[in-house]
Structure 1
Amino acid sequence: MPKITVGDIDINYQIQGTGEPLLLIMGLSFSLLDWGTQLPELLAQHYKVILFDNRDAGETSQSSCAYTLAQMAADAAGLLDALGESKAHVFGISMGGMIAQHFALNYPNKLNKLILGCTMAGGACSQPGAFSDLFNGNVLELLFMPEFIQQHQTELAAFLQTTMPFHSKGGGLIRQFSAMNSHDTCDLLSKITAPTLVITGDRDRVILPQNSDILTEKIPGAK
């Protein structure tokens, strides 16, 4: 996969399809491989899909110091600039959805439409879930329902074998987690002007679905 220098890091990225740019921002620790193949391929039938690894994840550079999610949004905006894209739809999930909120607030002229998946505003208006269990629990049990795991054991084992070597580790994971812990857009969401779609799983244990209700209430016109 190609890499491109943005600020102080080299970002690993992948592009599929043609059409309006759609930037996908992944969550805590995970790399672009964790989007799987089916979703990007389906989206690439309609959009120019841009996948990338956040700093401290996948094959993007490790950061030399602590940072915020706003800085990670700056990485995403810088990637678009480096690719010659003036504007894009942005779809972020989990921590990636938090980064996408900062993107919407700080780079409104670069944003077409905003999609926030299984994420939250942080701060006092959010309801924490089982995030800490990502460090000491069974990742599959947090990401998938028991019946799905039972029906897809072989595929999920192969998926983890492919993706886990590229997950954040050590200092990189701590830096990402610290950035996410400082996230708070509770009093800023009313300033988001992009058309916004909020989606979640009604049985999500990591980021409780009530958080999506909060986002929808606070972002003007969100659905």
Structure 2
Amino acid sequence: MKVSANGASIHYAVDGHGPWLTLAHPLGADLSVWDDLVPALAAHFRVLRYDSRGHGKSDVTRGPYSVAQLAADATALLSSLEIPRTHFAGISMGGAVAQQVALDAPERIASLTLIDTTAGYDAADADLFLQRAATARSQGMKELAAGTLERWLGERFRKHHPATSERIRALVAQADPEGFAAACEALAAFDVRTRLGEIEAPTLVLVGENDPSTPPAVARRIASGIAGAQLEIVPDAAHLSIVEQKQFVTNALATFLQGTASNV
């Protein structure tokens, strides 16, 4: 299904019944990255997933993008679907978008779950995103897919789950180069580290213990910056903990959400 939101056609899917729960995916992926978690979550929540601008089946508009723009897309999608308030969970880029929505439209957020993400990148990491943007535009996504997979999934998981690993690699390899590059530019400029104290929604921060991209130290800084935030380390997981440790993440998310469900 698609709706027009903030000047772009946004592809989305809805599953289940109950309080709304919105899921935002990482850079270079699409809503299918949440597939394995949806059945359990949809038993208790009405789960909204969507493809971010430039990704999946949503429009690839001219870049560069900004995280504020991607957050406005999410808020416009909620308005188009007449969702006044939602739990919001985002991983990696989706976690950046989640923080921005909580800052720009706090009345829409019942709770926040931030998974393997950051509140802002230092200069060296920001430069890496700009380099990836340039590579995507000049050489295409296949040049980036293998390195992305190594950061996202641990070596042992890749060895023992080759089909799942290949599905994730192919997802990145098939991403639109311009959409990916424009989103890379958004992440390079993203920084809300000094604003975390403004977030008032109940917040859960999850991070893979072996995440090389946004390691536990980064997650601890986010959790310490948001009053009352809970922090959980996902064992034996790299950057894509929702795939590598789907049961742990599902349980942690469900427990947290059921404790805050009265906020919707």
TM-score under structure 1 normalisation? Answer: 0.90
Equivalent position of 1:107 in the other structure: 105
Counterpart-to-counterpart distance in 2, 1:222 and 1:111:
15
Runs of 4+ in 1 over 6 A off after TM superposition: 129-134
- The Cα shift of 1:155 comes to 3.6
Residue 202 in structure 1 maps to residue 209 in structure 2: yes
Aligned 8 A contact 1:73 1:99 in 2: yes
Say how many residue pairs are matched: 218
* Structure 2 counterparts to residues 179-218 of structure 1, below 5 A: 179-218=186-225
The CA deviation string for residues 39-61 of structure 1, in whole angstroms up to 9 with x for no partner, is 11111111100000000000100
Residue 149 in structure 1 maps to residue 158 in structure 2: yes
Counterpart-to-counterpart distance in 1, 2:168 and 2:200:
37
- Identity, in percent, stands at 30
Counterpart-to-counterpart distance in 1, 2:66 and 2:103:
14
Unaligned runs of 5+ in 1: none
Counterpart-to-counterpart distance in 1, 2:61 and 2:146:
26
Counterpart-to-counterpart distance in 1, 2:64 and 2:101:
19
Counterpart-to-counterpart distance in 2, 1:158 and 1:128:
26
- The Cα shift of 1:186 comes to 1.1
Equivalent position of 1:56 in the other structure: 54
Secondary structure, in 3 states, of the residue corresponding to 1:207? coil
> Higher helix fraction: Structure 1 or Structure 2?
2
Equivalent position of 1:168 in the other structure: 176
| Counterpart code for 1:90 | F
* Structure 2 counterparts to residues 86-101 of structure 1, below 5 A: 86-101=84-99
Counterpart-to-counterpart distance in 2, 1:190 and 1:164:
34
- The Cα shift of 1:67 comes to 2.5
Aligned 8 A contact 2:15 2:48 in 1: yes
* Structure 2 counterparts to residues 26-105 of structure 1, below 5 A: 26-35=25-34, 37-105=35-103
Unaligned runs of 5+ in 2: 133-142, 231-264
Aligned 8 A contact 2:28 2:172 in 1: no
The CA deviation string for residues 44-101 of structure 1, in whole angstroms up to 9 with x for no partner, is 1111000000000001001134331011101001101101110000001101101111
